[in-house]
Structure 1
Amino acid sequence: MARNQSDVGVSGILFGIIAASIILLGANSFVIINPGQAGVLSVLGKARDGALLEGIHFKPPLIANVDVYDVTVQKFEVPAQSSTRDLQELSASFAINFRLDPLQVVEIRRTQGTLQNLVSKVIAPQTQESFKIAAAVRTVEESITKRTELKQDFDVALGQRLEKYGIIVLDTSVIDLTFSAEFARAVEDKQIAEQRAQRAIYIAQEAEQEAQADINRAKGKAEAQRLLAETLKAQGGSLVLQKEAIEAWKQGGAQMPKVLVTGSQNSGVPFLFNLGNLEQAVD
């Protein structure tokens, strides 16, 4: 009786072990790929063709494993340096938004392994080469003043280079663009020279305007003298002279002149009258 009970206990244990093994193997025979992921099935260390997209997939238990890759949009900042067409050093920092092509993750697994390797061994060096392509056809000044065109050429070169690695470039942005200290000093000197040139142009224009004003004033004075001469020739010219003399006396302090010149309108001989003598007679 005791022996029968012992056999039943052993059988129960064996059954439990077998059941647990079946459950464990069953659970290990399936993998779930979530949205935004892609998987690569490897059996005995060899990657199988065909990426595992979102959903549930069978995998051989114990001898297989699945590497899961994030195929959503990712962002990395990558520095780059290049020489421009005029042999100036130009440095930049790019923010690159990209994602992995889900259908290419098997090739990525075979050639690059992890995402970290992909960034360090592919994205970073290809960013450097693409920046060289875009900067080498421009001077450093053109690279700064035509920054949008520089970025467009960079985007085209980078997209073409990364596409063959299963990397889809969505967008890039230039975070920083710097140049050498020598060029910075040259830019500063150029700005100072331009400011001085603009100042010289302004002074020259101002002098030209002043000279033109002097010419206009001289023309106006000559015209006034011409009109005065014509007036003097006309009848009543002596009255104009007398009016001008009176105005001059007023402007000079309304002091009476020492000598007064008078004459008849029709007489050509003037009459001189010394007012100083009159003042002495009164005294």
Structure 2
Amino acid sequence: MPGGVFDGFDPKIPKIVPKKSYVFITIAIAAVLVLLIINPFVTIGAGERGIVLNFGAVQPIVLSEGLHVLIPIVQKVIKMDVRVHKSQTNAEASSKDLQEVTSVIAINYHILPDKANIIYQSIGTGYKERIIDPAVQEIVKAVTARYTAEELITKRPVVSAEMRGGLVERLIKHQIVVDEFSIMNFSFSKIFMEAIESKQTAEQLALKASRDLDRIKIEAEQKITQAKAEAEALRLQKENISPDLIKLRRIEATIKAIDKWNGILPKVTSQNMPFIDVKELEH
């Protein structure tokens, strides 16, 4: 190169890339495109479980939360929610005394996470409509029939506990856990509710009358006791009165009159003037 030393590189001459490099880049790009197309990865979110299907057949493994690799074309994943859900069901039944009862039942439930594949295989994802609602209806009818309409109101905690126990036992067979159970409402016919209200009013009036009667009896007993005590006091006083006591009381009264007298005889006498018996004072 004129005016300098030739270093073997000329920017005007295009650089020749080896064929091996082209092949490697092509394979890498193709591999990325294939991965994007077949997408062998699956992410299981929080509160979910993955049901693995091999050509549609449910597998024993249940995928937990996180990133997982699948066999392309062969495997497929169905996600199921295992968090706590709320279900509200309206149930109609008849009480022991043949009263129509409408109940609103609310439950919180969740499926067993490690049994999600069994639930999907035997029930599918619609387990609320297929299992929970019918179970609630049946349990409510069975328990309600053992109590009268009035007992359903007065013994509500007992009725609720009995319904919960029956529902827990029934749903656990399907890998469903009952977390909370509550009877939102009991509804009866208008005529029955009016009868209940009238009965309660009558019972309250009867209770008030009974309390008033008890109070009157107690007051009467108190008066009788007081009268007996006064009569007994008078009797004792009469027993203790003697001629000597009467004479003593007269002397005491005479002494008091003398103490009050100023020594001047009144010019006009009256019946109010005290009579002083001197002979009594001498004895």
Length-normalised TM-score, structure 2: 0.65
The answer to whether the aligner puts 1:150 opposite 2:162 as a matched pair is no
Equivalences for residues 132-143 of structure 1 within 5 A: 132-143=141-152
Equivalent in the alignment of 1:186: 195
Among 55, 68, 80, the residue aligned to 2:79? 68
Tell me, in whole angstroms, the C-alpha distance in 2 between the residues paired with 1:217 and 1:76.
68
SS in 1 for 2:60: coil
Paired residues of 1:41 and 1:59 also in contact (CA < 8 A): no
Tell me, in whole angstroms, the C-alpha distance in 1 between the residues paired with 2:44 and 2:234.
104
Aligned amino acid, residue 72 of structure 2: P
The answer to whether the aligner puts 1:110 opposite 2:117 as a matched pair is no
Tell me, in whole angstroms, the C-alpha distance in 2 between the residues paired with 1:95 and 1:51.
33
Equivalent in the alignment of 2:20: none
Among 119, 128, 137, the residue aligned to 2:128? 119
Paired residues of 1:84 and 1:139 also in contact (CA < 8 A): yes
Tell me, in whole angstroms, the C-alpha distance in 1 between the residues paired with 2:219 and 2:249.
33
Equivalent in the alignment of 1:50: 60
Unaligned 5+ segments in structure 2 are 1-25, 253-269, 272-276
Distance 1:234 1:228, change over 3 A: farther
Deviations 1:50-80 (A, max 9, x none): 243124031332x654221111222222222
The percentage of aligned residue pairs carrying the same residue is 32
Tell me, in whole angstroms, the C-alpha distance in 2 between the residues paired with 1:228 and 1:22.
124
Equivalent in the alignment of 1:6: none
Tell me, in whole angstroms, the C-alpha distance in 2 between the residues paired with 1:146 and 1:52.
44
SS in 1 for 2:114: helix
Among 153, 173, 176, the residue aligned to 2:182? 173
Tell me, in whole angstroms, the C-alpha distance in 2 between the residues paired with 1:111 and 1:59.
24
Paired residues of 1:81 and 1:132 also in contact (CA < 8 A): yes
Deviations 1:118-160 (A, max 9, x none): 2112111111112223333333333333333222222221122
Distance 1:81 1:59, change over 3 A: farther
Aligned amino acid, residue 36 of structure 2: L
Equivalent in the alignment of 1:39: 50
Paired residues of 1:40 and 1:47 also in contact (CA < 8 A): no
Tell me, in whole angstroms, the C-alpha distance in 2 between the residues paired with 1:23 and 1:158.
47
Paired residues of 1:51 and 1:102 also in contact (CA < 8 A): no
SS in 1 for 2:130: helix
Tell me, in whole angstroms, the C-alpha distance in 2 between the residues paired with 1:208 and 1:234.
43
Distance 1:234 1:213, change over 3 A: farther
Equivalent in the alignment of 1:8: none
Distance 1:203 1:21, change over 3 A: closer
Deviations 1:168-188 (A, max 9, x none): 222223333344433422332
Distance 1:219 1:107, change over 3 A: closer
Equivalent in the alignment of 2:205: 196
Equivalent in the alignment of 2:9: none
SS in 1 for 2:72: coil
Distance 1:204 1:32, change over 3 A: closer
Tell me, in whole angstroms, the C-alpha distance in 2 between the residues paired with 1:155 and 1:130.
9
Aligned amino acid, residue 58 of structure 1: L
SS in 2 for 1:59: coil
What is the CA RMSD across the aligned residues, in angstroms? 3.9
Distance 1:184 1:68, change over 3 A: same
